[in-house]
Structure 1
């Protein structure tokens, strides 16, 4: 779970969102902006982006450890892959 992950979604400039996980903290960066958040030992995720806090997410890492999905109760899941 620790380390750098790249989203499968691209920003308007064609660059992926980058999520960095260090300990119980995570940061999602895109277009020069940063969205801080937390991830607990039981894989619960919350983050704040552009003044809005999103919580209730659950992270799931694939069996091979190369992909990560964050399932959100209020929208579509976020999918990331290892670089």
Structure 2
């Protein structure tokens, strides 16, 4: 399967992933902020963060997470697709 399609499928399967990605597009957030934005439990936020780190979409700076250039690219493309 095409990696781009796999990324879209990965995001589309979880509302929490989409909300976290969109929130991180706007600013750096810590886990508490991500829980508040997504309404997800701490274990769920932990999985989202690990998944995003594994895909090199985010990096951690102290307690905060921010999108990498690749993460920004993915977020822009995905969010533009779902908004149209």
Q: Return the TM-score normalized by structure 1.
A: 0.27
Query: Higher relative CO (CA 8 A, sep ≥ 6), structure 1 or 2?
Result: 2
Of Structure 1 and Structure 2, which has the larger fraction of its residues in helix?
2
Q: Which has the higher strand share?
A: 1
